[in-house]
């Protein structure tokens, strides 16, 4: 490993800023590029232009995943990096974007140094990683690895009523490349931690050894809409009360099960949502996660029991729909070791750790040796325009990715 080879952090930061200008949230550093919106299309067009400027062979598949490949000395499956460029509506500029733009920076660095690795190098961005508009999260990478048939993915309806297939056609990203996509030789994703651990421990690089399991459910509670002034409390069938009790229960359950169990109700709506009307229905989402599959199943079971008992006692009915369900993933120990060793050899402090967030790498892990590199997030803040990682941490993480990829490509 030639540790004097280094990426250009100014060039990487400039690309991060140029991409963040698309869908920029005024007065912040963040951006809103929900999957398959006009803003997502504009971001895609910019990144594809950069890929072509670097001479990459660019392919687009039927779910809109984009892969850019730089030829190696030999043919064969590439060493791939990448992530996503869609964001939540209140996104930062680093979540996902870093892993894609770091890949372009690495290719530019390798080309400028006149290096031709034995294996090809590839950079990918996968469609709808966030799942904030079209559940589940990691949709594009799930389809890429054959975890969901394309036809099923194209039929998914978003929170705004739009359909994945229609939106892909509309923005011009329903491509011809076949699915499932070809398995890479290996996959390594650079991402901001989005949590507080690295910063709190004063560590520069995370060698990510797995991703916790994710369970997303949509709940619709239906009751009896009625007059808020005239309906005695004892005669109500109030879905708003059931939803509120569930919000509190999800938190209590996570606290009782203890770290690393987490639970969130991130979306809630009452209908008709008026001051003097007992709601007719309430809908909300539940996001629960754990690194342990058995504990995650226990949390799911206990939430379901509470929901049904509370609704029944209130005279309400319940419908639930699974929006996403992925078991915990363990990354390839040899690739995790390589990330850890590379970070140490470059002089960085490094820690093996699991990921609290979902990532495209957890899907690629189904088809090839996979790991991730984390860089610290200031105050552990993410899914928030205030998300921030310092240039020196971005540089460290990107150099770890660079040298990890080169070793994988030359071995």
Using CB under 6 A as the criterion, which residues of the chain lie in contact with ligand GLV when the complex forms? 129-130, 137, 357-358
Distance in Å, CB of 40 to Mn ion, minimum: 14
**Residue among 66 and 242 whose Cβ is closer to Mn ion:** 66
Alpha-carbon gap, residue 285 to 322, rounded angstroms: 10
* Distance (Å, whole) CA 180 – CA 367: 10
Minimum gap (Å) between residue 211 Cβ and ligand GLV:
9
Minimal distance, residue 209 CB to Mn ion, in Å: 18
Nearest to ligand GLV of 59, 83 (CB atom): 83
Side-chain-side CA neighbours of 36 within 13 Å: the count stands at 33
Binding mask 80-109 for Mn ion (x = CB under 5 A): ---------------xx-------------
Q: Which does 395 bind (CB under 5 to 8 A by kind): ligand GLV, Mn ion, none?
A: none
Fill in the DSSP letter of residue 315.
Answer: T
Residue 362 Cβ, how far from ligand GLV at the closest point, in Å?
10
Q: Which is nearer to ligand GLV, 95 or 395 (CB)?
A: 95
In the complex with Mn ion, the residue whose CB is nearer, 96 or 120, is 96
8-state DSSP, 21: T
Give the residue from 89, 94, 96 showing the smallest Cα distance to 267.
Answer: 89
Q: Provide the minimum distance between the beta carbon of 159 and ligand GLV in the complex, in angstroms, as a whole number.
A: 14
Q: How far is the CB of 254 from ligand GLV (least distance, A)?
A: 16
Say how far apart CA 327 and CA 93 lie, in whole Å: 28
Residue 358's binding partner, choosing from Mn ion, ligand GLV, none, with beta-carbon cut-off 5 to 8 A by kind? ligand GLV
Q: Does 189 bind Mn ion (CB under 5 A)?
A: no
Interaction partner, residue 137 (Mn ion, ligand GLV, none; CB < 5-8 Å by kind): ligand GLV
CA distances from 343 to 69, 191, 276, 335 (A): 25, 15, 60, 12
- The residue among 158 and 358 lying less far from ligand GLV, judged by its C-beta, is 358
Number of other CB atoms surrounding residue 67 within 10 Å = 25
Task: Mark out the alpha helices in 4-82 (DSSP H runs).
Answer: 9-20, 38-53
Which CB atom, from 97 or from 217, has the smaller least distance to Mn ion?
97
What does the alpha-carbon distance between residue 258 and residue 260 come to, in Å, rounded to a whole number? 6
Q: Where do the H-state alpha helices sit in 225-366?
A: 239-257, 293-313, 333-345, 361-364
DSSP strands (E only) in 132-212? 186-192, 205-211
- Residues of this chain that interact with Mn ion (CB under 5 A) are 95-96
């Amino acid at each position: 490993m030639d540790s004097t080879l280094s990426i250009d952090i100014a060039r990487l930061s400039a690309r991060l800023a140029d991409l963040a200008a698309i869908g920029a949230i005024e007065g912040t550093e963040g951006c809103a590029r929900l999957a398959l919106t006009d803003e997502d299309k504009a971001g895609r067009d910019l990144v594809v232009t950069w890929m072509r400027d670097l001479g990459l062979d660019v392919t687009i598949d039927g779910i809109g995943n984009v892969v850019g490949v730089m030829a190696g000395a030999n043919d064969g499956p590439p060493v791939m990096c990448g992530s996503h460029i869609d964001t939540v509506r209140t996104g930062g500029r680093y979540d996902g974007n870093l892993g894609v733009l770091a890949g372009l920076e690495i290719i530019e660095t390798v080309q400028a140094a006149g290096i031709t690795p034995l294996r090809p190098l590839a950079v990918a961005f996968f469609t709808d990683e966030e799942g904030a508009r079209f559940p589940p999260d990691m949709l594009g990478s799930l389809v890429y690895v054959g975890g969901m048939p394309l036809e099923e993915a194209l039929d998914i309806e978003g929170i705004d009523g739009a359909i994945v297939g229609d939106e892909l056609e509309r923005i011009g990203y329903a491509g011809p490349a076949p699915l499932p996509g070809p398995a890479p030789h290996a996959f390594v994703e650079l991402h901001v931690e989005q949590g507080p651990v690295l910063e709190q421990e004063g560590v520069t690089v995370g060698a990510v050894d797995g991703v916790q399991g994710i369970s997303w459910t949509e709940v619709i509670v239906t009751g009896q809409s009625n007059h808020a002034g005239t309906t005695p409390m004892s005669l109500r069938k109030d879905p708003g009360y059931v939803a509120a009790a569930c919000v509190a229960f999800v938190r209590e359950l996570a606290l009782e099960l203890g770290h690393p169990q987490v639970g969130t109700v991130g979306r809630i709506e009452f209908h008709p949502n008026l001051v003097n009307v007992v709601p007719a229905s309430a809908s909300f989402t539940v996001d629960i996660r754990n690194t342990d599959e058995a504990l995650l199943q226990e949390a799911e079971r206990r939430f379901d029991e509470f929901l049904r008992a509370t609704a029944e006692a209130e005279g309400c009915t319940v419908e639930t729909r699974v929006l996403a369900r992925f078991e915990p993933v363990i990354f390839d120990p040899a690739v995790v070791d390589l990330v850890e060793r590379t970070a140490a050899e470059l002089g960085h402090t490094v820690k093996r750790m699991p990921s609290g967030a979902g990532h495209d790498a957890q899907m690629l892990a189904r088809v090839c040796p996979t790991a991730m590199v984390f860089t610290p997030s200031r105050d552990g803040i993410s899914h928030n325009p205030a998300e921030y990682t310092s240039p020196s941490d971005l540089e460290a993480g990107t150099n770890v990715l660079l040298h990890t990829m080169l070793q994988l490509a030359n071995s």
